[in-house]
Amino acid sequence: MVAHAEPVFIDPTTDEGFKRLFGDKVNLINFLNIIFRGRKIITDLTYRDTERIGATEEIGKVIFDLVVQISTGEDIIIEMQTSTHTNLKQRMLYYASKVISDTAPKGNRKAWGYAIPEVYTIVLMDGFHMPGGDHKTYFHDTCLCNRDSGQIFYEGLGFIYLEIINFVKSETEVEDELDKVFFMLKNMSTLKTLPRIMKSEVFQRFFQLASYAKLTKEERTMYDISLKRKWDAEAVRMYQQEQVEGLEKQLEEAKKEAKKASLVAKAEGLAEGKAEGEHNKAIETALRFKEMGLPLEQIAKGTGLSIEEIEKLK
């Protein structure tokens, strides 16, 4: 059995890679400031529960639960995680709703005045598309807005999805810091050296922490397990996708066959109706010819009816 070559950099979308890179406070602040694109300036943050694990059906998913200080002096709450594709939007709404609910006091809510902090859910989507998406957009910055005008209705609840699979830019096509984040997330585990576009202090720090060679023996073991878990999950997802696509193809073929059968039946019905109409017309003509006293042979020749049929006409 041929052993796999050791990577130069770890995969940031595995549980262990995610935890190592974004468990670093400086890295996470830099990352958040890039994806908020100037809308929020993060100055500090506190990990409330660094290694909280998701619900039972998501064993292995690390969720960062953060209290974040911004430049205005306010605190906002951010949940950041990698995610599976199952019930994605519903689960993220559930998590955000639970965070909001947990901020409420047990009593005296009148005095509290529903002073809800801003809550943002940030999701790294690896290997699957946004449900109902266009398969092109890779950055989704979502909030509550007016359906008709697009005007923001409430700024304090946001969902930011990084749809990594849709990012297809090469190193030379990268345009800004946000693109660099996507390039790093998608390509880090396959790169052999630090890319030219990642020479800034912000990205150098990410790649230094991502060095596989700098992992301890225990960290390597944990990372390798995490990587295998990701590969296994991806294999299961791909199998399920193939099954769904197979069923969809069968359904489409069944619909085509049904439509074809319907058209054939309709055509046969039209043909039968046309033949019956022509036969009735021939009978009417034969009756007129017979009343005129024409010989049966001539009537048969003129209408296409047999002499026996004509004899029976009255």
Q: What is the DSSP string of 179-206?
A: HHHHHHHHHGGG-SS--GGG-SHHHHHH
Residue 110 has pLDDT above 90, yes or no: no
Average pLDDT over residues 263-267: 68
SS3 state at 11: coil
Q: Which residues pair with 76 in a beta bridge?
A: 68
> What does DSSP say about strands 52-53 and 62-70: parallel, antiparallel, or unpaired?
antiparallel
- Quick one: pLDDT band at residue 114, thresholds 50, 70, 90? confident
Average pLDDT over residues 248-259: 71
Decide if 3 contacts 144 (C-beta within 8 A).
no
Structure confidence at residue 271 (pLDDT): 65
| pTM beyond 0.75 | no
Decide if 186 contacts 148 (C-beta within 8 A).
no
Cα distances (Å, whole numbers) of residue 126 to 129, 182, 231: 8, 11, 11
| Tens-digit pLDDT profile for residues 123-156 | 998 888 898 889 999 999 999 999 999 999 999 9
Structure confidence at residue 237 (pLDDT): 66
Q: Measure the CA–CA gap between 294 and 111, rounded to whole angstroms.
A: 109
The widest CA-to-CA distance across the chain, in whole angstroms, is 114
Tokens at 74, concatenated: 């306010």
- Quick one: pLDDT band at residue 91, thresholds 50, 70, 90? confident
Give 63 or 39, the one with higher predicted confidence. 39
Give 236 or 89, the one with higher predicted confidence. 89
Structure confidence at residue 50 (pLDDT): 46
Decide if 189 contacts 9 (C-beta within 8 A).
yes
Structure confidence at residue 258 (pLDDT): 67
| Tens-digit pLDDT profile for residues 228-246 | 887 777 777 677 667 767 7
Structure confidence at residue 25 (pLDDT): 94
Sign of the four-CA dihedral 233, 235, 239, 244: positive
Tokens at 289, concatenated: 């010819």
> 304: left (phi > 0), else alpha (psi -120 to 50), else beta?
left
Residue 1 has pLDDT above 90, yes or no: no
Average pLDDT over residues 264-291: 72
Structure confidence at residue 105 (pLDDT): 84
Q: Measure the CA–CA gap between 260 and 265, rounded to whole angstroms.
A: 9
145-169: b (≥16 Cβ within 10 Å) or e:
eeeeeeeeeeeebbbbbbbbebbee
Residue 166 has pLDDT above 90, yes or no: yes
Cα distances (Å, whole numbers) of residue 294 to 285, 286, 289, 302: 12, 9, 6, 11
- Quick one: pLDDT band at residue 293, thresholds 50, 70, 90? confident
Structure confidence at residue 56 (pLDDT): 40
Structure confidence at residue 149 (pLDDT): 94
Share of the chain above pLDDT 90, in %: 42
Q: Measure the CA–CA gap between 279 and 60, rounded to whole angstroms.
A: 77
SS3 state at 255: helix
Q: Which residues pair with 125 in a beta bridge?
A: 83, 163
- Quick one: pLDDT band at residue 53, thresholds 50, 70, 90? very low
Sign of the four-CA dihedral 132, 137, 140, 144: negative
Decide if 24 contacts 47 (C-beta within 8 A).
no
Residue 268 has pLDDT above 70, yes or no: no
Average pLDDT score over the chain: 84
